[in-house]
Amino acid sequence: MKLTLKIWRQAGPEAKGKMVTYPLDGVDGDMSFLEMMDILNEELVNKGEVPVEFDHDCREGICGSCNMMINGQPHG
């Protein structure tokens, strides 16, 4: 599956941020959002770009540390 991700990127609290568009191919419909983010980050690292930072721990949706805002709605 091909997806287009639009992610807010900001180097730090004082830096100016912007939305960055990332086309992503090879996403399986059974993947979790975190697995998809891993694919994106692998591609970014391979291109020498800064990966998208996000917190995660158990990745099972139990502890709540891996939540994200997606389309203005909290997910985790």
48 sits in the region (left: phi over 0; alpha: psi -120 to 50; else beta) called left
Cβ–Cβ < 8 Å for 2, 29: no
Could you tell me the CA-to-CA distances from 66 to 2, 14, 16, 47 in Å, in that order?
23, 24, 25, 25
pLDDT at residue 73 in the model:
75
The residues that bridge with 18 in the sheet, in sequence order, are: 9
**Overall domain count for the chain:** 1
pLDDT tens digits, 34-62: 888 899 999 999 999 999 987 666 666 66
- Reported pTM: 0.77
CATH of residue 11: 3.10.20.30
Which domain, by its residues, includes 65? 3-75
Q: What is the pLDDT of residues 6-15, one digit of tens each?
A: 999 999 999 9
Q: How far apart are CA 10 and CA 52, in angstroms?
A: 10
**Residue corresponding to tokens 């389309």:** 71
